[in-house]
A and B are shown apart, each in its own frame.
Chain A
Amino acid sequence: MSGFTGGIQLVYVLAAALFVIGLHLMNSPATARRGNQVSLAGMMIAIAATLVLMIHDGTVTGAGWIVLISGTLIGSAIGLYAARTVQMTAMPQLVSAFNSVGGGAAALVAIYSYIESESNAGGVLGTTTVFTLLDVIIGAVTFSGSIIAAGKLQGLVPSQPIIIKGGRAINVGLAVVAIGTAAYMLTTASLPALLIVVLASLGFGVMMVLPIGGADMPVVISLLNAFTGTAVAMAGFVIANWALIVAGALVGASGSILTKLMADAMNRSLANIILGGFGTGDSAVAIEAAADAHIRPIAADDAAIQLAYASKVIIVPGYGLAAAQAQHGVAELAKTLEDRGIEVSYAIHPVAGRMPGHMNVLLAEANVPYPQLREMDEINPEFARADVALVIGANDVTNPAARRPGNEISGMPILDVDQAKSIIVIKRSMGHGYAGIDNELYTDPKTSMYFADAKKAMADLTAAVKTLVG
């Protein structure tokens, strides 16, 4: 290693250290923003060092510069536009899209290094390492899988689990083809084989995500995030670059931790989720007539009375809040109640919404102070003291059936909403939750059902409370 490349490598280490420090600052909302800026500084240093290296080497052709500069400008413009215009409710799609392009770029780095060694050595492919192949496989799976995930979140691909007959066999087949061909390439250089690996991996990514339902998305996004990180780390091995190895490992670790947290919060194993969920997340299934008897519908005025004369209200948001874009409405209602001296807090289940922390970011957008957002373990003992629990578009995470063995959601940690003195559930219809089972909370004698779109319900409730109290 010459002094120059050694110096560049040291700059990469500095960049990696800044990534670690940046992530460390994410431990608190107060320092998180500085953390992102520290990490951005690391990124700029790494890119600057790379440019210095490229200019110093002097081997980049004119066409090479044009291609790189135009590509970077176009990509930056796309990224900037997407990041500036995205709605906070669409954040899971965007995160998924970034996973996709990150994994895709990592795979391309490996594919290039494979092809390049061929073109240089007069038709003889260079030594293929395990890392090149892992990078191609993981990167390609992430690329196609994340596109499908983003499509499901955006509603372009149906969010119900899409079960293809013999899908599991196709999955196993694609995995065998990809890994088998890759193993063959370890001993024999072959471009067609590389193409087969790429195609089989892309197919596997699609087939892996298609059967997974909307409510499992927090797990899937976390997992694909971990995959992207791993693919980038593998790309780091391929081009012997420490910055990529460290950054990729950090992302891989972060994604794995989140994946485990999300899977634990649903009391389901990763294998169970990947191998296909039960039921769907969003479809409204009509409830059987028998159950109707036990349901108490309520109108805005009556719900407003309950809220206005409570002294402690706990709001339980779920995906319905995000789907209806009701985050500003709920913040407005909460503020109206607080102006009356009512204590308001939010109970956030770890898998509420479509990505880890989805509810928190939506409510932050609506200016809800983050100390009011309480995690499950912290808020659960407080439900018994709450006069009203206001459930907005949340279902399975409130179902007391989870405490009993023998059903789809048994053992899943839930919010103890049924402990509250009274419960108001805002829902569009009597649809089932993701698990496809009845929510016993709805037939609880303390529960009133308020059937409305969450956004409209919030506006009506706020107006009604204001009228009540003058």
Chain B
Amino acid sequence: MSTALVTDLTIFVLALLVGIEVIGKVPATLHTPLMSATNSIHGIVLVGALLIGVTAHTVVGYILAFVAAVFASANVVGGYVVTERMLKMFRRKPQPQPQVQAQPKPELDGKSRS
């Protein structure tokens, strides 16, 4: 087993452990955005698709590079855009009506409860 491979494996295992540690704490509210965010992160495969182009010089190579580039860039661009769109909705919006806040009771008790 080459040194390079051992290094790669070490990085892989450590990254897995970091991932488990970091992601284990994400609240259920954010599970869909989390999945969408990790979805965009695996779009990093675009780097792999681009690197095909470094050596590609046959028709088959070009076709594979093209399809991989289409797939990976759709993944990356779509992933980030949709995650951003989703997370925007989780932002606390400036509310014209204070009733829609998390704890509506105190300020409303004097109102129309009869």
Contacts and interface: CB of A to CB of B under 8 A. Distances in A.
B77 to A, nearest CB: 4
Q: Main SS of the interface on chain A? A: helix
Given A57-B54, A232-B42, A340-B113, A23 B35 contact: no
Contact of B75 (A67, A105, A236, A339): A105
B7 to A, nearest CB: 9
A35 B23 CA distance: 12
Contacts of A343: 104-105
A250 B92 contact: no
A79 B55 contact: no
A431 to B, nearest CB: 26
A75 B105 contact: no
A40 interface: yes
Given A32-B30, A59-B54, A339-B99, A225 B15 contact: no
Contact of B56 (A67, A72, A233): A67
Given A47-B46, A86-B82, A105-B48, A95 B39 contact: yes
A32 B83 CA distance: 10
A109 interface: yes
Contacts of B80: 36, 39-40, 43, 83
B44 A244 contact: yes
B99 to A, nearest CB: 5
Contact of A72 (B73, B79, B104): B73
Given A116-B56, A254-B34, A101 B72 contact: yes
Interface in A75-128: 75-76, 78-80, 82-84, 86, 88, 91, 94-95, 98-99, 101-102, 104-106, 108-109, 111-113, 115-116, 119-120
Interface centre among A57, A78, A238, A254 (most CB of B within 10 A): A254
B56 A26 contact: no
Given A46-B47, A76-B74, A370-B29, A335 B99 contact: yes
A97 to B, nearest CB: 8
A73 B46 CA distance: 12
Contact of B47 (A50, A60, A257, A365): A50
Contact of B20 (A37, A75, A257): A257
Interface in A300-344: 335, 338-341, 343
Interface in B45-71: 45-58, 60-62, 64-71
B31 A84 contact: no
A360 B29 contact: yes
B56 A71 contact: no
A63 interface: yes
Interface residues of B, number: 94
B11 A68 contact: no
A184 interface: no
A357 B30 contact: yes
A27 B50 CA distance: 32
A83 B82 contact: yes
Interface stretch (A281-289, A348-356, A433-441): A348-356
A357 B35 CA distance: 9
Contacts of A65: 53
B73 A71 contact: yes
Interface stretch (A14-22, A157-165, A407-415): A14-22
Contacts of B52: 108-109, 112-113, 116
Given A80-B78, A102-B75, A23 B38 contact: yes
27 contacts: A19-B44, A23-B23, A26-B26, A32-B33, A39-B80, A43-B41, A68-B50, A71-B66, A79-B78, A95-B36, A98-B39, A98-B40, A101-B72, A112-B68, A225-B39, A232-B45, A243-B44, A250-B38, A251-B39, A254-B19, A257-B20, A257-B23, A355-B31, A356-B34, A361-B33, A371-B102, A469-B112
Interface of B: 4-5, 8, 11-13, 15-20, 22-58, 60-62, 64-93, 97, 99-102, 104-105, 108-109, 111-113
Given A109-B52, A357-B31, 19 more contacts: A33-B84, A36-B37, A47-B76, A54-B54, A67-B65, A68-B49, A70-B66, A71-B69, A76-B73, A78-B78, A82-B78, A83-B77, A95-B35, A102-B43, A105-B67, A115-B60, A235-B45, A237-B8, A240-B4
The 5 closest A-B pairs by CB, nearest first: A253-B19, A79-B78, A71-B69, A357-B31, A75-B73
